[in-house]
Amino acid sequence: MTSSRTRVDIPWTSATFQSVLACSLIGVMGVPLISPLLPDLRAVFGISDAQAGLVITAYTLPGVFLTPFIGLLSDRLGRRTVVLPLLFLFGLAGGGIALEPSFRGVLALRFLQGVGGSGLMVLAITLIGDFYDGERRNTVMGINGSAIGIGAAAYPLLGGALAAMHWNVPFAFFGLSLAVGAVALFTLEEPEIEDTPAMRTYVSRVVSAVLVPRALGLWAAAFLTFFLFYGGVLTALSLLLSDVHGLSAGQIGALFSMVSIANASIASQYGRISHRFEPQELVALGFVGFGVSLLGIWAAPTPILISAMLLCFGLGFGLVMPSLNTSVTSLVSGELRASMMGVLTSMLWLGQTVGPVAFTSVASAAFDDPVRGYRLLLLFWGTATLVSGGLVFLALVRRN
């Protein structure tokens, strides 16, 4: 543990800091803003539930494969050279859907928008690592995580309000990214980093850094975090709340906002918390929170108690994500930072893609009653996460 306590000023008036927050808020906007209007898209385009879900999949799929390459381009060509086109691509592709293309056109534009969105999340964290270090980096990382949590909680409400005007209005709102890009064009500075080596040497260094045992642990933690959240909470719990407790989509959405509220609250205090614990310890402690939450959801008899357990999951989320970001940005020098953040983000996208499929497939194939399957999966993952996270935390505390 560390014990120093110094006051760290938050650079609210810094154009760089404002650009970082804007990139994060734009990058996290892609799914929660339009999730409330998915049912409306069925009538607009005459499509099924599964086809409506493709509007989400088309956006998330690019992030699984492209984020490491976006990071590589950023390391080779510079941050501004990559982040500015991504802001404009996100705004143009997302805003273009407001022009009411065919459903195939919607999916194509969502794919392009996903390319921009996944890269923005990578580069926002990379810029924090470039411009800040020490305690200020931890503080800014926490504020950035808090902003993402607030955005994730607010965007579904905003999207629902905009969709009440017309189904395409939320897509027009994506055009805000164009304004952010225009401002960043004049205010975002290029960080000073060491000259990158020849491509063969560069790739060799990235591969070596990716395979370091400590890095492998970070990739696994990132994957599991989103695997559990998207598979266990957003998918399995959503179905349980509907089938067992009879909640409507609006009521389920309100319960899930508890995760974002708790995430934003704890992440905003990350700078202070990091004075007391190392990032690895906070990741392990966050997984303890995940385990307690999933076990509590399994045991909770009422939606009110489930909402309390979702707050616990959000607290864990607010510890894990800033810690993972801080650990990766500190693991390598500036010349490799964006590529490493690309790998981290790829693991996040992979977790959120695999999680829902894994939970629904196992529950349906291995159990006669899917509801029973979801409950047993929550019990299994809750126990495994609580025990493993607790043991790792105790081991790290004793070592330090």
Task: State pLDDT tens for residues 189-209.
Answer: 877 766 666 667 767 777 787
- Tell whether 203 is covered by a domain: no
Average pLDDT, integer, range 232-253: 79
Report the mean per-residue pLDDT for the chain: 84
Q: Give the model confidence (pLDDT) of 280-294 as tens digits.
A: 999 999 999 999 999
Q: How confident is the model at residue 91 (pLDDT cuts 50, 70, 90)?
A: very high
- Tell whether 133 is covered by a domain: yes
Q: Does one domain contain both 163 and 103?
A: yes
Give the position of tokens 């497939």.
361
Q: How confident is the model at residue 4 (pLDDT cuts 50, 70, 90)?
A: very low
Q: Does one domain contain both 120 and 216?
A: no
Q: Does one domain contain both 186 and 247?
A: no
Q: Which two tokens stand for residue 264?
A: 């934003």
pLDDT of res. 7: 59
> Which domain-ending residue is among 160, 192, 224?
192
Percent of the chain at pLDDT above 90?
27
- Tell whether 246 is covered by a domain: yes
CA distances to 54, 133, 169, 275, 315 from 281, in Å = 38, 19, 44, 12, 14
Q: Does one domain contain both 285 and 393?
A: yes
For residue 137, pLDDT over 60 is answered with: yes
- Tell whether 198 is covered by a domain: no
Report which of residues 270 and 379 the model is more confident about: 379
Can you tell me the distance from the alpha carbon of 375 to that of 378, in angstroms, rounded to the nearest whole number?
5
Q: Does one domain contain both 284 and 181?
A: no
pLDDT of res. 50: 64
Q: Which two tokens stand for residue 110?
A: 């969502």
pLDDT of res. 104: 93
Q: Does one domain contain both 163 and 289?
A: no
Indicate which CATH number applies to the domain containing 238: 1.20.1250.20
- Tell whether 54 is covered by a domain: yes
- Tell whether 213 is covered by a domain: yes
> Which domain-ending residue is among 164, 192, 220?
192
DSSP string, 229-262: IIIIIIIIIHHHHHHTT---HHHHHHHHHHHHHH
What's the whole-model pTM score?
0.75
Q: Does one domain contain both 37 and 118?
A: yes
- Tell whether 165 is covered by a domain: yes
Residue 281 belongs to domain spanning: 208-400
- Tell whether 322 is covered by a domain: yes
Report how many domains make up the chain.
Answer: 2
For residue 69, pLDDT over 90 is answered with: no
Q: How confident is the model at residue 326 (pLDDT cuts 50, 70, 90)?
A: confident
Q: Does one domain contain both 172 and 276?
A: no
**Residue 373, burial from CB neighbour count under 10 angstroms (0-12, 13-18, 19+):** buried
